[in-house]
Amino acid sequence: MELPGPHERRSIVVLGSTGSVGTQALDVIERDPGRFRVAGLVAGGGRVDLLAAQVERFRPDVVAVADERAVPALRRAIGPVPILAGPEGVAEVAARPCDIVLNGITGAIGLTSTLAALRAGRVLALANKESLIIGGPLVKRLARPGQILPVDSEHSALAQCLWAAGPSGYDPSAVRRLIVTASGGPFRGRARADMTEVTPEQALRHPTWDMGPVITLNSATLVNKGLEVIEANLLFDIPFDRIVVVVHPQSMIHSMVEFVDGSTIAQASPPDMRLPISLTLGWPSRVPGAARAVDWTTAHTWTFEPLDDEAFPSVALARHVGSQGGTAPAVYNAANEVCLEAFLGGRLPFTGIVDTIAAVVGEHSVSPAGSVAEVLDADAWARARARELTAAAPPR
Ligand SMILES: NC(=O)c1ccc[n+]([C@@H]2O[C@H](COP(=O)([O-])OP(=O)(O)OC[C@H]3O[C@@H](n4cnc5c(N)ncnc54)[C@H](OP(=O)(O)O)[C@@H]3O)[C@@H](O)[C@H]2O)c1
């Protein structure tokens, strides 16, 4: 698990290479070929042309696609590079010898890869927050200190603030509160009653970040912020009542840590995922020029406001399931994934997403999430129940 130093070359496996995080990770890697090389690429199989172009450009040792039907077209496009396929192929590449595995897969499906990478002893650059959230106790039991490096900009910011706090390293007793910032999404300032008619097109338009569709929709409902609160609790061992969400529409401060002496340290940079991604790949060193810095020569105003829990009940619900622990976060996440599909398919109004998650969570009997099977069972139950509820929901 020892990472090569800043002057040695690191080999990186990129899972979800064709996605928003994956392509930006490859951008960081490509800019510094003396420092990084690609050992493996993994994607779902939906964008074969892009994956083939990445193979051509980065010459990985191996490539995998989750959807086996993508293999023939990929084979024709990339020639002799080994191709693995299906969930087993994806997990095999996640466990391959390399220095860092970046998990940029979307959704609960990323859990197997997270566990495979951790079991194999790889340092895990974690964008796929869902795997940590749903597999909480399992992932935490498996991960050694420092083995998971957060890619999420908020958690990268928190790690940087904690790291900046002192030479003796992370001291939880010096932390009063974690302050997680939220842009507020495209519907900030609206009352809940004014969001019933929201269309997928409107929900997919994020004001400050350009991201994949699932996280963009989750930013509109603020489910993403709820997931991030659980992620912060799991990563930094700070209880939920000391994790605060603050709306900061400019997305320049990515989170803050308030210390017991009244000092607050914030991390600021224009919204660009290449910064937190590069910090995981170069960890603990910074990658020069990874992203633009704040322009302090021009005037700007940054604002902060409390979260409207009535308009966006998803964060309070996430705190509730996070405090319950066990299989509860997996149920929250799985119900959400199904509700997003229903919303995109016109079967559920926008506000029905969180209402349905709450209904599914309310019906679930929480168990400890002591095994992968237990987590996957809870995930499958929540999906089935959310499908039933959304099939019965009145159309938009
Ligand atoms: N985007 C951001 O700025 C951002 C910021 C913070 C955190 N995150 C987190 O990072 C993760 C990725 O988000 P994203 O926005 O990059 O998503 P995305 O753009 O939708 O990309 C998802 C990637 O996963 C691949 N994939 C889908 N199913 C797969 C499977 N079964 N096995 C292996 N790969 C599979 C996709 O391949 P195909 O192209 O073949 O479908 C694609 O490469 C999410 O957990 C998200 O919450 C993202």
- The one-digit pLDDT tens for each residue of the chain (396 residues) are 789 888 899 999 999 999 999 999 999 999 999 999 999 999 999 999 999 999 999 999 999 999 999 999 999 999 899 999 999 999 999 999 999 999 999 999 999 999 999 999 999 999 999 999 999 999 999 999 999 999 999 999 999 999 887 666 678 889 999 999 999 999 999 999 999 999 999 999 998 889 999 999 999 999 999 999 999 999 999 999 999 999 999 999 999 999 999 999 999 999 999 999 999 999 999 999 999 999 999 999 999 999 999 999 999 999 999 999 999 999 999 999 999 999 999 999 999 999 999 999 999 999 999 999 999 999 999 999 999 999 966 655
Most informative mutation of 106, 111, 183, 341 for ligand 1 (most atoms within 8 A of CB): 106
What is the CA angle 312-318-323, rounded to 5? 145
Instruction: List the binding residues.
Output: 18-21, 44, 128-130, 152-154, 183, 206, 212, 219, 224-225, 228
317 ligand 1 Cβ < 6 A = no
Closest Cα to atom 26 of ligand 1: 44
Which residues 6+ apart lie within 8 Å of 141 measured at CB? Answer: none
Most informative mutation of 15, 20, 103 for ligand 1 (most atoms within 8 A of CB): 20
Atom of ligand 1 nearest to the CA of 128: 45
Strands of the 83-85 sheet, one edge to the other: 83-85, 62-65, 36-43, 10-15, 100-103, 123-126, 148-150
User: Strand runs (DSSP E) across 66-194, as ranges?
Assistant: 83-85, 100-103, 123-126, 148-150, 175-182
Atom of ligand 1 nearest to the CA of 216: 15
46 ligand 1 Cβ < 6 A = yes
Strands of the 305-306 sheet, one edge to the other: 264-268, 253-259, 175-182, 243-247, 305-306
Q: With CA atoms as reference, report the closest residue to 169 among 255, 284, 280.
A: 284
266 ligand 1 Cβ < 6 A = no
Closest Cα to atom 10 of ligand 1: 127
Question: Does residue 10 sit in helix, strand or coil?
Answer: strand
273 ligand 1 Cβ < 6 A = yes
32 ligand 1 Cβ < 6 A = no
Most informative mutation of 24, 105, 139, 156 for ligand 1 (most atoms within 8 A of CB): 105
Q: Let me know: does 258 contact 165? Beta carbons within 8 Å.
A: no
3 ligand 1 Cβ < 6 A = no
Q: Is 314 left (phi over 0), alpha (psi -120 to 50) or beta?
A: alpha
Q: Return the pLDDT at 170.
A: 74
The Å distance, Cα 21 to ligand 1 centre, comes to 7
Give residue 360's identity as a one-letter amino acid code.
V
Atom of ligand 1 nearest to the CA of 22: 16
User: Strand runs (DSSP E) across 161-294, as ranges?
Assistant: 175-182, 243-247, 253-259, 264-268
The Å distance, Cα 207 to ligand 1 centre, comes to 20
Which residues 6+ apart lie within 8 Å of 17 measured at CB? Answer: 23, 25, 26, 41, 42, 43, 51, 54, 104
Cα gap 318→108, rounded to integer Å: 16
Q: Return the pLDDT at 6.
A: 80
